[in-house]
């Protein structure tokens, strides 16, 4: 039996997310890693974050990865599975550990932010075309990937090239560029990420990210560099996001958010946009759902936050442009079940 042949007959799910998840240690107080006395355990991983949020939103989701045969691997599989994600395609690697990392409490955009990764040689970094169940990975309406996986090893890069290669009957391939400069020590990142994005059907990229990686200025320049994906989502921070969908261009401003922690918002945005895409909603509404799901992450301390209830989000998405422009969301907003006009808070 070849690596690409069926190992079983996996159920077709709404979304398959493939990538490394790690156990993350969050500081008990602000300050340098050298000064933090203790940490709380959580989970972190771009693709598994998307999987968990989508499962919490009611979608059927599978996570495909590898973890070590250790307690941290147990914790990841049990925690992600508890969200309702199918984790049957996550084998244990007895010869490699589960990755972990520590981070400070500060905003990732500041120079004071520190992250200490212990992922070199991790089980997930050993993913290959031969040891990943490609049948399970492709058994979804959407296959969600990110550029982080391609940076983990030469073998992972080969796996990503295989999954983004054109082939009959492949699922809609969603790709979040997710450039992490610290993972690309050999300088190969810009070209490989460009190649992978051009092979995807739906691409998420930050405007600042495109500037840093490819020296592209503005959403139009990003689209000119990425003509192949049918849908290109350019995230523009507090200004909102712009979608290029075939020949149409749609911009939707982000609501004002009282930020608690600026972590996890990009993954949450992707989950909200994908959820609305699976529901067949118009592009404007997909963007608004992305913004609302990102706002749920921004208004809690950790990387993962429960998305707003679907009917709650739908009411806010249906606001007219003026009311949407006045929308301001703070901690606890996802628990407010009031009418849409009552949920609009002016600054």
Q: What is the DSSP string of 308-320?
A: PPHHHHHHHHTS-
**Residue that wins the pLDDT comparison between 274 and 345:** 274
DSSP bridge pairs for 15: 61, 142
Residue 110, pLDDT score: 58
- Say what the pLDDT of residue 210 is: 97
pTM attached to this predicted model: 0.92
- Distance from C-alpha of 61 to C-alpha of 55, rounded to nearest angstrom: 6
Is 5 within 8 Å of 54 (Cβ atoms)?
no
Tokens 């691997």 correspond to what residue?
A: 73
DSSP 144: E
pLDDT tens sequence across 299-326: 987 778 899 999 999 999 999 999 999 9
144/105: higher pLDDT: 144
54 closest CA partner among 270, 204, 282: 270
For 166-229, the DSSP string reads: --TTPPEEEEE----GGG-TTS-HHHHHHHHHHH-SEEEEEHHHHHHHH---SHHHHHHH--SS
Residues that are catalytic: 267
Confidence bin at 112 (pLDDT 50/70/90): low
Least confident of 65-69, 100-104, 224-228: 100-104
Predicted pLDDT of residue 337:
58
**CA separation for the pair 3, 143 (Å, rounded):** 18
How many C-beta neighbours within 10 Å does residue 309 have?
14
**Would you put residue 87 in left (φ > 0), alpha (ψ -120 to 50) or beta?**
alpha
Are residues 324 and 255 in contact, defined by beta-carbon separation less than 8 angstroms?
yes
Burial class (CB in 10 A: 0-12, 13-18, 19+), 279: middle
pLDDT exceeds cutoff 70 at 346 = no
325 C-beta neighbours (distance < 10 Å), count: 12
pLDDT tier at 182, thresholds 50, 70, 90? confident
Task: Tell me if residue 67 falls in helix, strand or coil.
Answer: strand
**If you average pLDDT over residues 268-284, what whole number do you get?**
98
Band (pLDDT 50/70/90 cuts) for residue 113 is confident
Cα 299 from chain centre: 17
- Residue 146, phi then psi, degrees to nearest 5: -145, 160
Q: What is the pLDDT of residue 338?
A: 53
Tell me how far apart the alpha carbons of residues 54 and 48 are, in angstroms, rounded to a whole number.
10
Q: Closest Cα to residue 49, out of 177, 144, 147?
A: 144
Per-residue pLDDT at 172: 98
Q: What is the mean pLDDT of the chain?
A: 92
Tokens of 151: 């940076």
What is residue 107's predicted lDDT score, i.e. its pLDDT? 54
Choice among 34-43, 100-109, 112-121 with the minimum mean pLDDT: 100-109
Residue 247 Cα distances to 7, 54, 197, 207, 279, angstroms? 41, 28, 18, 20, 21
Over residues 58-76, the mean pLDDT reads 98
């Amino acid at each position: 039996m070849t690596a690409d042949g069926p190992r079983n007959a996996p159920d077709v799910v709404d979304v398959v997310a493939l990538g490394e998840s790690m156990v993350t240690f969050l500081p008990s107080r602000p300050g340098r890693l050298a000064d933090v006395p203790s940490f709380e355990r959580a989970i972190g991983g771009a693709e598994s974050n998307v999987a968990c949020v989508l499962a919490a939103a009611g979608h059927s989701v599978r996570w495909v990865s590898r973890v070590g045969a250790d307690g941290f691997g147990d914790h990841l599989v049990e925690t992600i599975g508890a969200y309702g994600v199918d984790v049957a395609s996550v084998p244990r690697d007895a010869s490699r550990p589960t990755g972990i990392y520590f981070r400070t409490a500060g905003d990732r955009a500041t120079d004071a932010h520190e992250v200490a990764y212990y992922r070199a040689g991790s089980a997930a970094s050993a993913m290959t075309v031969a040891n990943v169940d490609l049948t399970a990975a492709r058994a979804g309406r959407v296959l969600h990937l990110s550029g982080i996986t391609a940076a983990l090893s030469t073998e992972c890069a080969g796996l990503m090239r295989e999954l983004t290669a054109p082939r009959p009957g492949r699922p809609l391939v969603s790709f979040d560029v997710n450039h992490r400069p610290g993972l690309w020590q050999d300088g190969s990142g810009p070209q490989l990420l460009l190649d992978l994005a051009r092979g995807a059907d739906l691409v998420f990229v930050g405007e600042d990210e495109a500037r840093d990686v490819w020296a592209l200025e503005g959403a139009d320049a990003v689209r000119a560099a990425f003509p192949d994906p049918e849908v290109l989502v350019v995230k523009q921070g507090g200004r909102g996001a712009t979608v290029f969908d075939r020949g149409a261009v749609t911009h939707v401003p982000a609501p004002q958010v009282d930020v608690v922690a600026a972590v996890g918002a990009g993954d949450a945005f992707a989950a909200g946009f994908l959820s609305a895409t699976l529901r067949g909603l118009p592009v404007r509404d997909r963007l608004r759902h992305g913004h609302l799901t990102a706002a749920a992450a921004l208004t809690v301390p950790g990387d993962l936050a429960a998305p707003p209830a679907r009917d709650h989000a739908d009411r806010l998405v249906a606001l007219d442009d003026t009311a949407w422009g006045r929308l301001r969301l703070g901690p606890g907003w996802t628990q407010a079940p009031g009418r849409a006009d009552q949920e609009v808070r002016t600054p």
